[in-house]
Structure 1
C-alpha cells in the first residue's frame, strides 16, 4: 500500500466459506461480517442528507467519483461494492494474527476451500485476536497482531467503504479502492504473492492515471513513495534472509535466540542509517519499530506487495497500457500451473526496465 503502516488489507472471506477452524472462529466471522453489512448506507443518500458532516461528504464524493471513473478508465468491476459507507465505530475492521515458529520465517498456514491457504487469521474483535495470538505464543510461536482498515470479500458481498479507511490521505484511499476492486477482477487460490502484487500494481498505476486527470489537493509523489517503500522492503527482506540462514545452522536453542536478537538489533541500526542518509532524517517507517516487538512474524507481510510489481509493470507495458489487454494477459498468467506461473513472473521481472 501507499501508506506507511504495512498490513495485509485483504481479508478473503475464507472464514465464511468453510474449511478448518473452530466453531467460535466461524461464529465471530459470520457475526462480524453481518454487522459490517448492516451498517451500510448508500453514499448517494449520505451526500444528499443535509445532516452529513461536510468533511465526510467531501471524502465520500471523492470516493464516488473515483469509483465511477474506475469502471470506464480501468475496466474494474461495475457492481455494488464501495458504493455504500459503513461507520463501524472502531479503529480497525479486523485484526490479523500472523504466526511463525520461533526459529522459522515461514507463516503458520490456514487453508480454506474457496480462498485457498493464507498465512494469517482475521478476527473482528481485537480482544479475540490477541487471545488467539497469546495461545500461539504459549506454544512457542512468534506472533504479531496487525489492525486492518480494509478488506475485500472478492465480490461475494457488496463491500462498503469503511470509516476505518478514512484515516488515509486521498491518494492512499483511492489506491486502496482500486486495489480491492482488482481482487474482484482476478484472484488465484493459494498464491497470495501473485494476488497482492497484481492488486498493488492496479492500485498504484490506477492512481497515477487518476491523478493525471484529477489533480488532488493532497498531491502525492508516487515515485518517491514507491522508492522509499522498496528501500524499506528490501531492508526487511534482507533481514528475513539472514534469519532463514541462521535457522538452518546447527546451534543450540539458546545460541540461536541470542543470534536472532542480534539480527534484529542490526535491523534497527540499518534502518537508522537509511533514515539519516537517504531520507533526510524523516522517519517514514518509525511506526514499524514502535507498534510491537520485532520478531519473525512482523516480517511476514513484506514482499507480498512489492517484490513482483515489476512483472506486472512489464505486462502492462506489453499491453500498450490498455487495461483490458492487461487483465486478459494477467488472467492467462494466473491460469498457469503454480510453478510455471512463478517462472513466467520471474521472466517478466527480469524484462522490466531498470530505474
Structure 2
C-alpha cells in the first residue's frame, strides 16, 4: 500500500506542478491530504475479519457493500474499486470547503484547478487553513462560508490505486442517506464536465435522489423508510423555507436600483430579505436542529449560492430520467450527450427539458411509494 500511495502522490504532484509556484502550497496540502486518506483505508473484508472492529461498524460496512453492489447492478454506476475499502479518519470531516460570493450577487467565486477545471469552492484538509482562506476572501470584499465536507470524488482517476474509500465521516448516516452519498459520488465518475459545477452537482444530486428512492423501495426495511422519511421531511421543510429567500435575493440583485448603482437601496432590500428569512425560520414548524440553527446564523450570499448549485437543475435531470423511460443506461447516455455539447447548447437543451420538469411530477417522489411523501427539490446543505 505504501508503494501505491507514493506513486499516487507523485502522479498528483506531477500534474499539479504545472499550476505554478504560487499555488504549490495549496496543491501540496491537497495531494498529501488525499494520500493521508488513502493510507488510512483498508479493504472492507479486512475490517470485517478484524476482531477489534466494533460490531456496529461491521454492520454498517456490510450494509455499505450491499449498497455498493446495488449501485452498479441496478443504477448503472461504475463497478470498480471505489467504496470497497474503509478509512477511519478520526475527525468530523474529510475536508472543509470555502465558498465565496460578492456582496450583491449569488454567483460564486470560482477557483481553477488541473483536471477539475473551474469550480465554485476551494477545499482544505485542515479546518484552520480553510478559515485562513476565508479571512483572505473576506478581506477582498466577499461574503464567505466554510462548511464541512463528509465525502468527495476523485472522478475515477484514483481507481487504479484503490479508489475512493468509505469514510468514518459518513458511514454512520441513516441508511437512506448512506445510499444517497455513495450514489452521488459514483455519479461523478459517470459524467464530469470541467467548468460546469451546477451541471455536475445537479446530475449527481438527481442520481442520489432517484437511486436512493429505488434502494429504499427495493431493499430498505420499513424502519429504514420511516427513518429516511422523517430525516428527509425535515430537510425539505428547510429547503422550501430557504428557496424563497434565494429567489428574493436574486430579484434584489437584478432590481432597477441595482442596475442604477443605488447600492444603499439594494443593501436595505437585501437586509429586509435576510430579516424575513430569519423571522420565518424562527416560526418554522419543523424540528429545530443545531445544523439548521448554524446554517441560518451564517447564511449569506455564499451559502445560498452554494445551495443553488446542487439544487437548481435537479428537476431537469429528473425529467430527463422520465423521458428515457426510467432506464438507467439510457439516462446516463443522454447525460453524456449533454456533457459533450458546448456549454451554450447544453444550457439550451436543459432549458427545453425544464418545460417538461415543470409539468411532470418529480420522478423520485413517484418511485418512493406511499411510505415517503413527495418532496420539494433540493438536497444540499444543512
Residues 108 and 283 of structure 1: CA distance in aligned 2, closer, same or farther (over 3 Å): same
1:94-127 CA-partner distances (Å, limit 9, x unpaired): 1111112233322211112421111110000000
Q: Which of the numbers 279, 286, 289 marks the counterpart of 1:282?
A: 286
Partner of 1:4: none
Report the Cα distance in structure 1 between the residues aligned to 2:153 and 2:86, rounded to whole angstroms. 14
Report the Cα distance in structure 2 between the residues aligned to 1:14 and 1:319, rounded to whole angstroms. 41
Partner of 1:9: none
Q: Which moved more, 1:213-222 or 1:133-142?
A: 213-222
Residues 94 and 177 of structure 1: CA distance in aligned 2, closer, same or farther (over 3 Å): same
Q: How does 1:3-42 map to 2 (within 5 A)?
A: 17=16, 19=19, 22-42=23-43
Higher helix share: 2
Structural RMSD (CA): 2.5
Report the Cα distance in structure 2 between the residues aligned to 1:230 and 1:200, rounded to whole angstroms. 14
1:109-153 CA-partner distances (Å, limit 9, x unpaired): 111242111111000000000011111112222111011111001
SS at match of 1:268: helix
Query: Within the alignment, does 1:127 sit opposite 2:128 as a pair?
Result: yes
Report the Cα distance in structure 2 between the residues aligned to 1:348 and 1:223, rounded to whole angstroms. 26
Partner of 1:213: 218
Partner of 2:61: 60
Partner of 1:179: 184
Report the Cα distance in structure 1 between the residues aligned to 2:235 and 2:324, rounded to whole angstroms. 22
Report the Cα distance in structure 1 between the residues aligned to 2:199 and 2:219, rounded to whole angstroms. 29
Tell me if the contact between 1:154 and 1:183 (Cα under 8 Å) persists in the aligned partners.
yes
Q: TM-score, normalised by structure 2?
A: 0.81
Q: After TM superposition, give the deviation of residue 332 of structure 1 in Å.
A: 0.9
1:230-260 CA-partner distances (Å, limit 9, x unpaired): 5245224213313423572545655554443
Query: Within the alignment, does 1:235 sit opposite 2:244 as a pair?
Result: yes
Report the Cα distance in structure 1 between the residues aligned to 2:279 and 2:211, rounded to whole angstroms. 36
Structure number with higher relative contact order (C-alpha < 8 Å, ≥ 6 residues apart): 1
Report the Cα distance in structure 2 between the residues aligned to 1:37 and 1:344, rounded to whole angstroms. 39
Q: After TM superposition, give the deviation of residue 325 of structure 1 in Å.
A: 1.0
Partner of 1:197: 202
Residues 16 and 83 of structure 1: CA distance in aligned 2, closer, same or farther (over 3 Å): farther
Tell me if the contact between 1:14 and 1:115 (Cα under 8 Å) persists in the aligned partners.
no
Q: After TM superposition, give the deviation of residue 349 of structure 1 in Å.
A: 1.8
Tell me if the contact between 1:152 and 1:159 (Cα under 8 Å) persists in the aligned partners.
yes
Tell me if the contact between 2:89 and 2:167 (Cα under 8 Å) persists in the aligned partners.
yes
Q: TM-score, normalised by structure 1?
A: 0.87
Q: After TM superposition, give the deviation of residue 294 of structure 1 in Å.
A: 2.7
SS at match of 2:147: strand
Q: After TM superposition, give the deviation of residue 226 of structure 1 in Å.
A: 7.7
1:48-88 CA-partner distances (Å, limit 9, x unpaired): 22221011011111001110121111111111111101111
SS at match of 2:90: coil
Q: Which of the numbers 296, 304, 313 marks the counterpart of 2:309?
A: 304
